[in-house]
Structure 1
Amino acid sequence: MDAFALLPADLPPLTLALVSAASFCTSFVTAAFGIGGGMAMLAILASLLPPAALIPVHGLVQFASNAGRAALLRGHVQRGPLLPFLAGSALGAALGGLVAVELPPAAVEIAIGIFVLWSALASPPRVMRAGAGPAGFVSTLLTMFFGATGPFVAAYVKTLALGRMEHVATHATMMTAQHLLKVIAFGFLGFAFGPWLLPVALMAATGFLGTLAGKRALLRIDDRLFKRALAAILCLLAARLIWSGAAELL
């Protein structure tokens, strides 16, 4: 059997090669700096995949990417916030699956952008450290419509003031749970993941290689440089979100 015959009609071999290479690069960025790869991958897939498949397929790819990163760094995961985050995420996925109307994309982009920018530049109050449940609920609800809310979760994890290894490991574990719940919700909503399993498997494989390379880079930088790079990436992503949302409104 021709392996290419197993690919979705909307994903020719050359496009598959491009998204597989993109998965390596974006996974490297997230493993090395804790954030940025998921949103970059969403932007790339948005230009290559049919709209109906974009959010579900992106969720499955990001589940695999984050699961690999969480497994590699499992010894550094801070387990305290995980249970409330998971509970909030489950509620957010359930509610997101029941909402019949989409949230205004432009308003969502601007709101998340402002929050991420504030979190990157300001010193959040200590009360936010107890907000794993609300962070899981809001980010998972939004990801059902918006796709990439990694910066939102990273902004929450930043308030925990963790070291670079703990930050990346904890963020990856939270995102693994969030994307898994999103994939399950889209499955219940009737999205057919079957035709996309082979492309996702290839993207997961190249993404894991990117994670391995990114982990090596992460080990070589110190916490001070990591925090500066994280804040810079968060600011750039926030600016992109605000600009994109404002452009849609105008």
Structure 2
Amino acid sequence: MMALLEALSPLSAGVNGVLVLVSVLTSAVTAAIGVGGGLLMIMAMAQVMPAAALIPVHGMVQLGSNAGRVVLTWRHVDRALLAAFLPGVVLGALVAAWLLVRLPPGVLELCIAGFVFYSCWGPGLPKRALGRAGTLLAGALTTLLSSLVGASGPMVAAFIKQGTEGRLGKVATFSACLSAQHLTKAFVFGVAGFVFRDWLALMLAMVAAGFLGTWLGLRLLHRLSEQRFDTLFKWALTLLALRLAWLGVARLMGPAG
């Protein structure tokens, strides 16, 4: 077993095993309450993975995990919203592939956190923002952010929260939108020269583990009432936004001294 785990990636067998277990847990979290698993996963991966591999490997694992949720919830996907979102995903990926200039560290995190706070606790988004043009723009911006910082999930979830009805509809549509976004990372990081082959076995193992976590999480989701789901969804978004805001302020201020 240890030899098998050792062969999964350049990391140690123990670390590979922990990451596979993390994939089960984080996929169950996202399937059950709609958001949070991806950010929890990238937090865990950031502790043990090289920085250059973090976002592309995380993106491919999240692609598999979200695609699994789409397969299990496809009939609940808001197809009209998804069709308006996809052109923005393509646009955002093309911009990410050549973008060299980035905002100062911390600004992106604070912008995402501010949007999530507004979506959860402020007045509803204007109807224009939920139309085709607004949805396309949301797809472009969140795809760009996803490629740069790997933390756009809460922003996509906040948008889906306003535009989709029902707990299964929210989870299914969120997963379909994120699947499209993460798929573009194969292009973006492939162009940048990242060698996915070195991490392929670990990614496949984490995707398989994520499918198990999704199945467990969806079983819990079916037992939640709409009101309880909405409450958990809103507070999960809020807690993730608080963490992003704290991280953004810390990065903006820079190292002490």
| TM-score bracket for the superposition, by shorter chain length | over 0.9
Report matched runs for 1:151-170 at 5 Å: 151-170=154-173
- 2-side partners of 1:189 and 1:244: how far apart? 26
Report matched runs for 1:69-148 at 5 Å: 69-122=69-122, 123-130=124-131, 131-148=134-151
1:4, distance to aligned residue in structure 2 (A): 5.2
Unaligned regions of 5+ residues in structure 1, if any? none
Are the aligned partners of 1:69 and 1:211 in contact in 2 as well (CA < 8 Å)? yes
Please say if 1:68 is aligned against 2:68: yes
- 2-side partners of 1:56 and 1:152: how far apart? 19
Aligned to 2:52: 52
1:190, distance to aligned residue in structure 2 (A): 1.2
Aligned to 1:32: 32
Q: TM-score, normalised by structure 1?
A: 0.96
Please say if 1:238 is aligned against 2:223: no
Instruction: Figure out how many residues of one structure are paired with residues of the other and give that number.
Output: 248
- 1-side partners of 2:201 and 2:105: how far apart? 30
Percent identity over paired residues = 42
Unaligned regions of 5+ residues in structure 2, if any? none
Structural RMSD (CA): 1.2
- 2-side partners of 1:242 and 1:5: how far apart? 37
- Give the letter aligned to residue 50 of structure 1: P
Show CA shifts across 1:139-159 (max 9, x none): 001111110211111111111
Show CA shifts across 1:26-83 (max 9, x none): 0001000110000110100111100000010010010000000011000111100112
Show CA shifts across 1:93-127 (max 9, x none): 11011012333330000110010111011222222
- 2-side partners of 1:183 and 1:221: how far apart? 35
Show CA shifts across 1:167-204 (max 9, x none): 00000000000000122221122110001110011111
Q: TM-score, normalised by structure 2?
A: 0.93
